[in-house]
Amino acid sequence: MIPINAPHIGREEIEAVKKVLESGILTSGLGTGPMVREFEKKFCRFVKAKHAIAVNSGTAALHMALLVAEVKIGDEVILPSFTFTATAETVVLTGARPVFVDIDPHTYTIQPEEIEKAITQKTKAIIPVDLYGLSAEMKAIQEIAEKHDLVVIEDAAQAHGATYHGKPPGFYADFACWSFYASKNMTTGEGGMVTTNSEEYAEKLRCVRTHGEKEKYTSVLLGHNYRMPEIEAAIGIVQLKKLPKFLDKRRKNAETLSKKLGEASKLRIPKEPRGFGHSWYLYTVRLEGANASIRDKLIIQLKERGIGIGVYYDPPIHLMPFYRRFKRRKLVETEKASKQVFSLPVHPGVTAKQVKFIADCVLELL
């Protein structure tokens, strides 16, 4: 089976982990061991942010950003439903209410006009998601946030290497939250990062990461244990160095697929609008006019041929049993997209021969 995504770990990562184990420094009480500090410094440079705070998952990154933005019970946070559960789950964990709004049917990212319609007296923050690795419309979102005095937390968990008008994720946000889960464009096994250009936010994020402490055993804020272990940071340093090559390969595979699949009239291939640089975390196509059963039948046939298809996301969050209680409006585009999309493997381990095989199978089965 060609997996939809896979980690790419080599000798260098193994050596880096060995070195950490031999050093005996596995973590640091305040979350600032030597590997973590080096990883944060290098990640800052990569995403052109002033501060980077490494944590143990992308979910922790989102939760921490929400806590530092002082999102709490009684507040509302606007976000898409067409995303991974963690985006909404962390809002609920703060006690705030997630307010789901619809997506653009071509880019699958949150629609700025829908954000404006959903703003109330209680709105505190917006979480745009750079879905599949394509940036949300960040300039428009930042303008809305400024007008209504809202915090922007960009969910960049899928967007390592993405650009928006030449800028990396986080440029038009108060916080950007990243994931280094094993399937991501770069991995630390599990792991995450928050980046910000605010000194004040950065200081609070460092506290919240480790029980709200600035010094050991003296909490000044409500915190958690969201520290990144040294082993993870050591893997992250190596993966970050390899990331440009990984991204090149993803792009090459995506472009080959687009060239071949472009001829299929029933299939909508993913867009990279002008001014946007896709990170190609997921190459997501759409079966126009289909319902879920037609789409799912095609997926079964592709899987039978050894192609690891993924569906991101069906159901969307607002239709999940736990999250139905937060449903306010019908999300027409989200619900339609969730029944028609599916993603094809483009990760760096997919060879040119496999890309051709994937495209040929899709065209034949269509």
Ligand X SMILES: Cc1ncc(COP(=O)(O)O)c(C=O)c1O
Active site residues: 184
We find the least distance from the C-beta atom of residue 64 to ligand X, in angstroms, to be 12
- Applying CB under 6 A, which residues contact ligand X? 57-59, 83-84, 86-87, 129, 155, 157-158, 179, 181, 192
Contacts of range 352-360, beta carbons closer than 8 Å, 24 or more positions apart: 352/256, 354/2, 355/253, 355/256, 355/257, 356/256, 356/260, 357/307, 358/2, 358/257, 358/307, 359/256, 359/257, 359/260, 359/261, 360/260
Tell me whether residue 234 or residue 298 sits nearer to ligand X (CB atom).
Answer: 234
Exposure string over 48-84, b if 16+ CB within 10 A, otherwise e: ebebbbbbbbbbbbbbbbbbbbebeeebbbbbbbbbb
Beta carbons within 8 Å of 18's beta carbon, 6+ residues apart: none
Tell me whether residue 172 or residue 362 sits nearer to ligand X (CB atom).
Answer: 172
Tell me whether residue 57 or residue 142 sits nearer to ligand X (CB atom).
Answer: 57
Tell me whether residue 156 or residue 298 sits nearer to ligand X (CB atom).
Answer: 156
Beta carbons within 8 Å of 252's beta carbon, 6+ residues apart: none
We find the least distance from the C-beta atom of residue 154 to ligand X, in angstroms, to be 10
We find the least distance from the C-beta atom of residue 129 to ligand X, in angstroms, to be 5
CA distance 110 to 104: 6
Helix, strand, or coil (residue 166): coil
Cβ pair 280, 346 in contact under 8 A:
yes
Q: Residue 120 burial (CB < 10 Å; 0-12/13-18/19+)?
A: exposed
Tell me whether residue 47 or residue 129 sits nearer to ligand X (CB atom).
Answer: 129
Longest dimension (CA), the chain: 64
We find the least distance from the C-beta atom of residue 252 to ligand X, in angstroms, to be 23
CA distance 352 to 354: 5
CA distance 135 to 158: 9
We find the least distance from the C-beta atom of residue 312 to ligand X, in angstroms, to be 8
Helices (H), the chain: 11-23, 34-47, 58-68, 86-94, 112-118, 138-148, 199-209, 230-261, 292-304, 332-340, 352-365
Bridge pairing between strands 97-101 and 76-80: parallel
Tell me whether residue 191 or residue 361 sits nearer to ligand X (CB atom).
Answer: 191
We find the least distance from the C-beta atom of residue 158 to ligand X, in angstroms, to be 5
Residue 139 phi, psi dihedral angles, 5° rounding: -65, -50
Tell me whether residue 66 or residue 298 sits nearer to ligand X (CB atom).
Answer: 66
Helix and strand numbers, DSSP H then E, in the chain: 11, 14
We find the least distance from the C-beta atom of residue 289 to ligand X, in angstroms, to be 27
